[in-house]
Amino acid sequence: MAMGIHGLLGGLSGLLLLLCALPWTQGGKVLVFPMEGSHWLSMRTIVRELHTRGHETVVLAPDVSVYIKEEDFFTLKTYAVPYTKEEYEYHLLSSLQMFFKNEFSVMMILSNMELMKNVSTFYVSCCMSLLHNKGFIQHLNSSSFDVLLTDPAYPCGALLAKYLQVPAVFFLRFIPYDSDFEAAQCPSPFSYVPRLFTRNLDHMSFLERVKNILYPLPFKLIFHFAFIPYEQLASELFQREVSFLEIIGHASIWLFRFDFVFDYPRPIMPNMFFVGGINCVSRKLLSQVCIGPSSKEWSSNISFHVWL
C-alpha cells in the first residue's frame, strides 16, 4: 500500500515537472505607432484582431490627435507635440486635402512644394518631440515590447523601433520611389516591374521602359529632401551617419495593402506579404439604386471579389 502511494506521488511529481517544462502560450506585447487619417482606419482592424487573439496592444498617438481615440481593445498612450489641437488639425487636414483634390503626379508635387515642405516640417517636429522625450522613451524601453507595428509612410515609427531595438512590422501601401523594395533588398528591374503612376504594364515597349526609368526621378529628388530631416534625427540619436534606407530597412516583416495579382506580378522577398483585402473587412452589398434586374446575384459576386 505504501509502495503504491509512493509510486503515485512520484508519478504526480514527474507530471508536474513535465508541465513546468512545457512552453506556456501567451500573447505578446505589441507597440503600435500609426499614422493619422485613413492609414489608422486600416491599421485599426489589425489592432482589434491582435486584441482578439490575446495580445496586449499599446497605441502611441499625439496628445492632440484628431482620429486616434481611446477604445476598449487597446491602451492609448499619448505624447506631447509642439502644436495646439487647432494647429495640429490644420496641418493634418491641409496635407490630406492636397492629395484628395489632385491626382498624384509629378506636377501635383511641384505645384505644392511649399505645402509639402510644411507637411514634412510638421511631421518631423512631432517625431522630434517624441524621441527627445527621455522620460517617455525610458518608459517604452522598460515596457519590453515584443514588436512594433507601424506605417512607414510616417518614418518616425520605423526610427522608434530601431531606437528601442524592437523588431518592426510595416503595414503600408507603398513608400515613394520604390525605397521600400530597395530597403528590403528586393529585385525590381526597370524592364519588368512598372513604376507607380506610369500606367505601364509588365510587358513594355522600349519607350515605355524609358518612361519607367525617367518617371520616378523627380519623385526621388522631391522625397529625398522630405526624408533628409529623419536621417539627421537618426544620426543625432545614434551618433553616426544613418541613411533613410537604413531606417526603414529595420523592418522584419512587410505587409502591403495591395494585391499581387491586381497591381502587377513582381519579385518579392520571403518577408513580404500582400494583405490588400484587409480594407474590405466591413463590406456591404451595392445599393439597389446602382444595379439592374439581376442585382442580387451580381452584387453578391462583387462583394465576394472585393473581399478577396
**Confidence at residue 219, expressed as pLDDT on a 0 to 100 scale:** 75
Q: Is the pLDDT of residue 109 over 80?
A: no
Residue 201 in contact with residue 265, Cβ under 8 Å?
A: no
258 exposure class (CB count in 10 Å sphere: 0-12, 13-18, 19+): middle
**Confidence at residue 240, expressed as pLDDT on a 0 to 100 scale:** 95
* Threshold 0.85, pTM exceeds: no
- Which domains can be identified in the chain, with CATH numbers? 26-274 (3.40.50.2000), 283-308 (no CATH)
Residue 76 in contact with residue 68, Cβ under 8 Å?
A: yes
| Contacts by residues 118-121 (CB-CB < 8 Å, ≥ 24 positions apart) | 118/91, 118/94, 119/91, 119/94, 119/95, 120/225, 120/226, 120/229, 121/229
Q: Which residues pair with 177 in a beta bridge?
A: none
**Confidence at residue 297, expressed as pLDDT on a 0 to 100 scale:** 41
Distance CA 222, CA 228 (A): 10
Distance CA 14, CA 44 (A): 45
**Confidence at residue 293, expressed as pLDDT on a 0 to 100 scale:** 45
Helical packing angle, 134-142 and 156-164, nearest 10°: 60
Residue 280 in contact with residue 262, Cβ under 8 Å?
A: no
101 falls in which pLDDT band (50, 70, 90)? low
Q: Is the pLDDT of residue 8 over 60?
A: no
Q: Is the pLDDT of residue 143 over 70?
A: yes
Specify the 3-state DSSP secondary structure of 1. coil
Distance CA 157, CA 58 (A): 13
79 falls in which pLDDT band (50, 70, 90)? very high
**Confidence at residue 97, expressed as pLDDT on a 0 to 100 scale:** 63
Give the position of cell 524609358: 210
Other CB atoms within a 10 A radius of the CB of residue 9 amount to 10
For the segment 256-306, what is each residue's pLDDT rounded down to a tens digit? 988 777 777 788 899 999 888 776 666 667 666 655 444 444 333 333 333
Q: Which residue has the higher pLDDT, 10 or 222?
A: 222
Q: For the CA atoms of 193, 199, 205, 210, what is the dihedral angle to 10 degrees?
A: -80
Share of the chain above pLDDT 90, in %: 44
For the segment 177-225, what is each residue's pLDDT rounded down to a tens digit? 788 888 999 998 888 888 877 888 888 999 999 999 988 887 777 777 7
Distance CA 77, CA 59 (A): 6
Q: How many Å separate Cα 276 from the centre of its chain? A: 13
**Confidence at residue 231, expressed as pLDDT on a 0 to 100 scale:** 93
For the segment 20-51, what is each residue's pLDDT rounded down to a tens digit? 444 444 678 999 999 988 788 889 989 999 99
C-alpha cell at 99: 492629395
